[in-house]
Structure 1
Amino acid sequence: MHSLTLAFSTLLAAVVAATCSYLFYLLVIWPRRNPLSRLPGPPVRNFFGNHLAAVLDPSRSPRVHEKFVKDYGRNVRIRGLFPWEERLFTLDPISLSHILKHSTIYEKPWQSRALISSMIGVGMLAAEGQVHKRQRRVATPAFSIQNMRALVPVTFKTGMALRDKWMSLISSAQDLSDDEKACGGMKLDVCHWVSRATFDVIGLAGFDYHFNAIHDQSNELFMAYKDMFETAISQQKGSLWDLLALYFPILDKIWPGERYLVVKRSHEVINRVAGRLIQEKKRKIEEAEKSGSVYAGKDLLSALLKSNIAIDLPPDQRISDEDILNNINTFLFAGSDTSSLTVTWLLYLLAKYPDVQERLRTELRSVTPAVPLESLTQDEIASLYAAIAELPYLENVLKETLRLIPPVHSSIRVATQDDVVPTSTPVKLHNPDGTVEEVDSFVMPRGSCVHVPIEAFNLDREVWGPDGWAFNPDRWDNLPEAVKAQPGLYNNMLTFSAGPRSCIGVKFSIIEIKMFTYILLTHFKFAVADPVGKANVVLTRPYVMDKHREGSQCPLFVIPLKQEGSA
């Protein structure tokens, strides 16, 4: 017994000594050796202080980002979550382009991947390396221009269903407020309704499944996804338990909290219902092959499955049914929320700037068919969208909305190896002896994180001009030369990221946003109902000022317009 006690005491002492040694290294030795500590950067107020709240809060981040650049340059050292965690904050286009281009060196941190994969599996948002490359290769044909055009009628019909729902709500409304009576419309939470509509679109476009979310919220698969995604948002509160569960997942299994149980229940429904949909699609594709024809399904799931069995795809490059399901979950998660928020913010900005709204409505009406929209055939819907897609002011308004309020406020990457980061302007590195040297590159150490400030990149007034924080769609007709040198998948913005991990669904998102904007703006006028602010909760969401506890919402006065020659 004495020997057991002695052995346990020895083991405990060794663990304590190892922990203390490691903490000493992290707190004392590593900060002196960390190459990032040589970069200029803002001070912290205390030992446990950090800069995360300042750079992540959209109500103050533009001012913070601008001050960083003014005081410290375009490559700045900031403090992360822990005292030993120095991060790179960069608004240098050359540095950012390098980091986003080399996606095998700069990956999502394991914490981010664990959080994502715990909800939607290891799809393209969570996968790295060869797994991501293989999944993207199989998925790319599904997002071809031809396939995206085939999904135009889906977005059109869903937009019309949302129009009809709003018309019904307004016409049957009772006990309207004085403000509602005065404007001739009704106050609706646009964020809530557009979110339901985009969920319907991605359900039909994703795997030919009718959630019917606009009219009914009782569908079990819809409820499973809705509960899980809302949990994904609510778990970002940053409580100590959430942090511990993220670093030590076993805690959730020992003492399962509400978040863990909701996700577990949702997974059971998704795996059963969506898993059955995958098997049914595979059976239909195989039956078509046996009969010498090609399965005509236009949804993303059908395209994924057909791409995965393509003759020119080597067997070792194919992905499993589990990967297919994970990526459908990813499309739902990434596709429904980001598009709905962009439409919401676009409508809010139009409500805030009525002159822009009227000008855009006039342009949209110029392509309205002479016959009622309900009577349009598939080909006529395609022709209508082709005309909508070419409207220049609509394009400007959309680009300006995506620039001013990108759905993803910022992102994070971690260096998987030591790397040398190039810069566009010299960086002042502080040497141990107190001297300062100017260099055109610096070392990014393995294990350190990069804060990718998407919103800051889009709002940089040194690049976009003095009115860079203002909503000005006309800027796109005469961009400053500096903008044209910026990296970005879409119009020199980082809204859809850049490099190998840029948004694969950008074409689909643009179709959906433009179609919804056309239908809603030609049938309704929008006016501001309550003061709305931005909050960064996974994505940049609208909240009524001083009512954050009521959740994300964007109430607007929605006023039906008299139609001239169309329904």
Structure 2
Amino acid sequence: MVPSYIALIPQACFVAAVVLGLRVVAWFVYMMVIAPLSDPMRHLPGPDGSLLESHIQRVMDPELSFQTYKDWRTRYGKTFRFQGFGRHDYRLMTFDIRAISHIMSSSNYEKPWQTRSFLGRLIGKGIFSSEGRAHELQRRIVAPAFSHHSVTRATTIFFRKADEVCDRWRDIIAERMEQTRGDAHSSAHQGPFPVPSTVVDIAAWISRASFDVIGLAGFGYDFHALKDESEEVYCAYRKMFRIADKGLNLWQILELYFPVLRKIFVTDDIRITNESKKIIAKAGQAIVAEKKRAFQEAQVHGDEEKDLLTLLIKSNLHNSKELRLTDEELQDQCSTFLLAGSDSVSTAISWCFQFLAMYPDVQIRLRRELSGAPYKIEGLESDNSMDSGFVDTSARARWYEIARMPLLDHVIRETLRLHPPVHSTIRVALKDDYVPLHHPVTLRNGRLVGSHDQRSEIWERDIKIRKGTYVHIPLEGYNLSQDQWGEDALSFNPDRWKQFRHKNTPSLTPGSNLMTFGYGSSSCLGYRFTIAEMKVFIATILPQFEFALAGDVEVSRFNAIITRPYVKGKWSEGTQMPISIREL
């Protein structure tokens, strides 16, 4: 005879299923119908859409976003709302500098957990994927590694790797000329140059060089990526970043909410990512252990290494024990250095050469300016060892000369303005808030916010935002705003920076208004490193090569973690930027 309580199990399961179903229906009704009615965002101007229509692609696709920003600013002003994944998901977007300053500086706004979770899979709990107290602590410890003095020391590595790029390109040109020798009508004699030229993938070579740079400058590890792409750790990072560049599909978004799915359904991408992370973790442990040992010995012998990781370890040890980063967190900072210090910098340098190819008059002017700084200093190429004091002194002298060149500075800033490596950033409100405005907004009921309302005699300066609301900060959109940069905001014009000659800080400051490096407590600590590396590579390479567009190849952009270039129609082939080069 079956016990009575066992006979009740099917009934209990049915009741539980009904209750669960009712809760899901109630949650759906609340999210789609009730919650939007109380959302203050619905009162703001902005584009309308159907119930589940999303405007996210128009905002996040760099091929569409610049026109979207322009249209929306014209129609709705500087602050408005748009639909995320539907009418239940109103999101704030603002070009109002006072609002941006408030949001980017307030502890009430953080990167969404979804963003941090996605980044955490790649780089662990580094400074990019942390928020709150953890981010504040990491920022304080990491900051000394990117001081003006430490970046100046790293220029020795920048010069060395830039020269190595030139050597590799000469080899490529020589090989291709050898292949076509004797053929008067070979393809090497066609194209924009009257003398032999060769098309190279600038993005690939600069990416390999910047990986070598951050490996050496970051933690004294040479990937030898410029020689060949076979080093195990380098390959692991490359595989992992290529997978991340695919972006998030619907299934991967589901995995963020239910991480257990990545263990149940192990795809090829998940398997490769996991294998890569194991290789990186093993190497990271060995590097951190070696650096800590070397630092302790240096305290006795006084011969301290100068790479970023050593400086980070030194800064970390100055903290009290309860505030120090663990070895695992130090390893995560290494991965963060590699992501930010390789791909973001290499993308910026590649776009700079693309602009110089597009604007040969600027290229000629810049080459003339650089001709005053010899690209070879006697003795620099004869001893490239990192412990050579003469090399270090020569490189610094060379760096101080090019660092003061105005047109070089303007070309770099204009490149970073038009094509920032990070397209935009998202924040989420941790609690209800009032966002201050500098420019008034007309609500849908006709009332003004941010200005004196003559009808009601009420002075309203802020817009209300509720907990959980997403805020999109259009970094590129602000850089392209005609309100800030004039009617030619979409044009490459380095001379616009002449009026900011005495403004040396490339962040959002009075007289600069460049949003590429963020703003406030989340601004990029490595901006000096980025600009220095860009200046060194361009100052070294441009006097030795001439650049022109590669025929009818059209280079476009796609937005993953970094906004990368690709050949239109060949997105599946990944990051590419073919440019025709000729040795001078």
Structure 1 segment 222-261 matched on structure 2, within 5 A: 222-234=234-246, 236=247, 238-261=248-271
Q: Which moved more, 1:317-326 or 1:57-66?
A: 57-66
**Aligned residue number for residue 197 of structure 2:** 185
Q: Distance in 2 between matches of 1:319 and 1:239?
A: 34
AA in 1 matched with 2:475: I
- What code does the residue aligned with 1:38 have? H
Deviation of 1:486 after TM superposition, in Å, equals 9.1
CA contact (8 A) 2:51 2:86 kept: no
1: CA distance, partners of 2:333 / 2:506: 33
Check conservation: 1:488, 1:497, Cα contact below 8 A. Answer: no
Q: How far off its partner does 1:436 sit?
A: 3.5
Identity fraction in percent: 37
Structure 2 residue runs of 5 or longer lacking an equivalent are 1-5, 383-389, 450-459
Question: d(CA) in 2 for partners of 1:485 and 1:131?
Answer: 26
Match of 2:77 among 73, 78, 81: 73
Within a 5 Å distance, the mapping from 1:373-412 to structure 2 comes to: 374-375=381-382, 377-412=391-426
1:346 aligns with 2:352: yes
* Cross-structure match for 1:309: 317
Distance in 2 (alpha carbons) for counterparts of 1:271 and 1:503: 25
User: Is the CA contact (8 Å cut-off) linking 1:153 and 1:381 kept in structure 2?
Assistant: yes
Distance change in 2, residues 1:263/1:251 (3 Å)? same
Q: Is the 8 A contact 1:408 1:540 kept in 2?
A: yes
Q: 2:308 aligns with which of 300, 304, 314?
A: 300
Deviation at 1:510, TM superposition (A): 1.0
What residue in structure 2 maps to residue 429 of structure 1?
Answer: 443
- Structure 2 counterpart SS, 1:414: strand
Aligned to 1:478, what secondary structure does the other structure show? Answer: helix
What SS does structure 2 have at the residue aligned with 1:316? Answer: helix
Cα offset, 1:318, TM superposition: 1.2
Q: Higher mean Cα deviation, 73-82 or 346-355?
A: 73-82
Distance 2:289 2:548 in 1: 47
Q: CA offsets, 1:504-527, max 9 Å, x none?
A: 111111111110001110110010
Of residues 7, 11, 20, the one that matches 1:15 is 20
More displaced 10-residue stretch of structure 1: 542-551 or 450-459: 542-551
Runs of 5+ in structure 1 lacking a partner? 562-567
Residues 59, 533 of structure 1: 8 Å contact kept: yes
Q: Check whether the contact 2:156–2:391 (CA below 8 A) recurs between aligned residues.
A: no
Task: Measure the CA separation in 2 of the matches of 1:327 and 1:371.
Answer: 34
Q: Output aligned runs, 1:402-551, within 5 Å.
A: 402-430=416-444, 434=445, 436-438=447-449, 439-478=460-499, 487=508, 491-529=512-550, 530-551=553-574
Q: Distance in 2 between matches of 1:399 and 1:510?
A: 9
Work out the number of aligned pairs and report it.
547
Structure 1 Cα separation of the partners of residues 442 and 506 of structure 2: 23
* Counterpart in the other structure of 2:100: 96
- The answer as to whether partners of 1:97 and 1:487 remain within 8 angstroms in 2 is no
Query: Structure 1 residues 346, 200: CA separation in 2 closer, same or farther (over 3 Å shift)?
Result: same
Q: Match of 1:497, SS?
A: coil
> Per the alignment, do residues 369 and 460 of structure 1 end up closer, same or farther by CA in structure 2, a change over 3 Å counting?
closer
Q: Distance in 1 between matches of 2:251 and 2:89?
A: 20
> What do you get for the CA RMSD once the two structures are aligned?
2.0
Residue of structure 1 in register with 2:367 after alignment: 361
Change (3 A) 1:485 1:275: closer
Q: Deviations over 1:475-527 (max 9, x none)?
A: 111369xxx99935993211000101110111111111110001110110010
TM-score under structure 2 length normalisation: 0.90
Structure 2 equivalent of residue 564 of structure 1: none
For residues 479 and 367 of structure 1, do their structure 2 counterparts lie closer, same or farther at Cα, with a shift above 3 Å needed? Answer: closer
Query: Cα–Cα, structure 1 residues 450 and 335, in superposed 2: closer, same or farther, change >3 Å?
Result: same
Contact 1:417/1:445 (<8 A) preserved: yes
Q: Distance in 2 between matches of 1:204 and 1:145?
A: 18
The answer as to whether partners of 1:120 and 1:330 remain within 8 angstroms in 2 is yes
1:267 corresponds to: 277
Residues 489, 496 of structure 1: 8 Å contact kept: no
Paired residue secondary structure (2:566): strand
1:30 aligns with 2:57: no
Deviates more, 1:449-458 or 1:470-479: 470-479
1:111-142 deviations in Å (ceiling 9; x for gaps): 00000001110100011111111111111111
1:18-49 Cα distance to aligned partner (Å, 9 max, x none): 111111111111111011111111011x3221
- Distance, in Å, in 2 between the alignment partners of 1:497 and 1:327 is 19
Q: Distance in 2 between matches of 1:553 and 1:369?
A: 27
1:529-560 Cα offsets, whole Å, 9 max, x none, are 02212222322211222222222211001110
Q: C-alpha deviations, 1:417-460, integer Å up to 9, x for none?
A: 11110111111223xxx564444211111111001101110000
Cα distance, 1:161 vs structure 2: 0.9
Q: Contact 2:507–2:519 at 8 Å: present in 1 too?
A: no
The worse-fitting range, judged by mean Cα deviation, of 58-67 and 342-351 is: 58-67
Question: In 2, distance between residues paired with 1:30 and 1:219?
Answer: 53
1:171 aligns with 2:174: yes
Query: What letter is aligned with 1:202?
Result: I
Q: Deviation at 1:70?
A: 1.0
Instruction: Work out whether residues 61 and 559 of structure 2, in 8 Å CA contact, stay in contact via their aligned partners in 1.
Output: yes
Q: In structure 2, do the counterparts of structure 1 residues 150 and 437 end up closer, same or farther at CA, with 3 Å as the change threshold?
A: closer
Contact 1:488 1:498 in 2 (8 A): no
Q: In the aligned structure 1, how far is the partner of 2:375 from the partner of 2:67? A: 46
Q: 1:329 Cα deviation (Å)?
A: 0.5
Amino acid at match of 1:163: C
Aligned residue in 1 for 2:3: none
2:438 match: secondary structure: strand
CA distance in 2, matches of 1:369, 1:323: 39
Q: Distance in 2 between matches of 1:203 and 1:83?
A: 46
Q: Structure 1 residues 441-450 or 256-265, which shifts more?
A: 256-265
Does the CA contact (< 8 Å) of 2:90 and 2:469 recur in 1? yes
Change (3 A) 1:316 1:488: farther
Q: Which moved more, 1:333-342 or 1:255-264?
A: 255-264
Distance 1:369 1:265 in 2: 42
